[in-house]
Amino acid sequence: MNTKDIWNRFDFLLFAATLLLSIFGIALISSAIAGNPTLADHPKRQAIFMLIGLVALFAISRFDYHIWQTLSRPFYLVVMGLLIFVFILGAAKFGAARWLEAGLVSIQPAELAKIAIILSLAQFFSKHIEKINHLTTVARSLLVTVGLVGWIYLQPNLSTSIVIMVLWAGMLWISGLKTRIILIASAVAILFIGVSTALDWPYLEEYQKGRIENFFSRPDTAEARYGDTYNVDQALISIGSGSWFGQGYGQGTQVQLRFLKIRHNDFIFSVLAHEFGFFGTALVLCLLAFVIVRCFMVAQHAPDAYGALLAYGFGLLMAFQTIVNVGVNLRLLPVTGLTLPFISYGGSSLVSMLMGVGFVESINMRSKDKDRE
C-alpha cells in the first residue's frame, strides 16, 4: 500500500473533533485565568504544547504502529528512568514531586507513563493472548504495570496510579479474561478496601485521607465556606449558576471574581458549565464521547490484536479520565488531580492525549475495512 492510499484512510472526523476540543480548551483556559498575572502565560504555553502534540500526532500516524512492538520496551525503560529521576530530584509542587523543569517548560513523566503502559501491555497481551487466563500471564502483566505504578505512587500521585491500574484491568478484560477470574479479583479488591478502611488507610498521605473523609462527610456552614471542601462547594455553585445557557464566555462571576479555585485545571469543567451552561457542557461532552467511541470503533476493525488493544487502551484512558474529572466536579467522586482530556491546562497531559490519537490514527490508516463511517 502506497503512502497516498494510507493517508486516504486518515480519520479526519476524529482529528477534527480532537483539534476542536484542544482549541476550545485553550480558549476556556484563557477565560479561567481571570486576569491573574501569575497565570497570564498559561494559554500561550498550552497552545505551544498543542502544536507539539499535533506534530507528534502526525508523526506517529505516518509510521506503521507495529514498530512500537519493538520500541515499547525501550520507551518503557526511558519513562521509568524519568520517574526515578523525578522521585530523586523532581521539583516539589502541591505537596508532591511530579515535574521535571526544563527551562520554561515543566514535564510530567507520569503522563508519558500512561502511554508507556498501554504500549507495553498491548504488546504483552497480544503476544500471550492464548494464555490470558493463566495465572502466570496475569502475574507477569501485573509486574509490568507495577514497575511504573510503584514510582508514580511514591511521588505521591495516587490518581495516576489508579488510572494505570484501571488500564491494566481494562486491557486484561478486553484480552479475554474469564468472568470467574474477574469476580474473584473483584472480591479481593473489596476485601482490600474493607481492611484498608478498618486500618485508616495506612498507605495514604494525610491529604489523601482528608479528601476521602471530606467526600463522605459534610462540614458545618463556616467550614464549607473556608475549609477543605471549599473548592468542591464552589464548583457546585459554579455549575448550578450556569443554568441552561451559561453566563457567557468571560462573564461568569464565579470565575472572573476567582471564587472558583484551580479553575484552569482540575475544575475547568465547572468553568465550562458556568460560562456555557447545560447545552454547552453537553456539546463538549458529546465531542469527547465521539472521540472515545471512535477509538473503540477503530479497535473493532483493527488488523490484529495488538492494534485493537492499543486503540481500546487509549479510548479507555480518555473515557476514565473524563468520567473521573466530571465526577469530581459534580461531587460524585473524591477530589483527584486528573485532567479533563484536551480541555484542562497541562502540557504533558495534552501532548500525551494527542499522541494517543496519533496511535489510533495509525491503526485506522492500516486497517483494510473502510466501511466504518
Q: Which three three-digit cell numbers place residue 270?
A: 465547572
pLDDT tens digits, 50-93: 999 999 999 999 999 999 988 999 999 999 998 888 877 755 55
- Please report where in the chains the cell 494464555 appears, as a residue: 131
Instruction: Provide the whole-model pTM.
Output: 0.89
pLDDT tens digits, 120-178: 999 999 999 999 999 899 999 999 999 999 988 888 788 899 999 999 999 999 999 88
| Distance from C-alpha of 66 to C-alpha of 186, rounded to nearest angstrom | 33
In sequence order, the 6+-apart residues with CB closer than 8 A to the CB of 52 are 347, 351
Q: What is the pLDDT of residue 156?
A: 78
Which of 5-9, 255-259, 365-369 tops mean pLDDT? 255-259
Average pLDDT over residues 17-46: 91
Strand 96-102 relative to strand 91-93, pairing: antiparallel
CB atoms within 10 A of CB 162: 17
- Is the pLDDT at 6 greater than 80? The verdict is no
Looking at residue 101, what DSSP letter applies? E
In sequence order, the 6+-apart residues with CB closer than 8 A to the CB of 345 are 25, 29, 32, 42, 46, 264, 265, 268, 339
Q: Which three three-digit cell numbers place residue 287?
A: 465531542
Q: What is the pLDDT of residue 370?
A: 44
pLDDT tier at 103 (50, 70, 90 boundaries)? low
Per DSSP, the residues of 244-270 read TT-S-TTT-HHHHTT-SSSTTTTTHHH
Average pLDDT over residues 309-335: 93
Q: Are 354 and 362 in contact, with CB atoms under 8 Å apart?
A: no
Q: Minimal CA–CA distance to 113: which of 152, 87, 140, 86?
A: 152
CB atoms within 10 A of CB 8: 11
pLDDT tier at 371 (50, 70, 90 boundaries)? very low
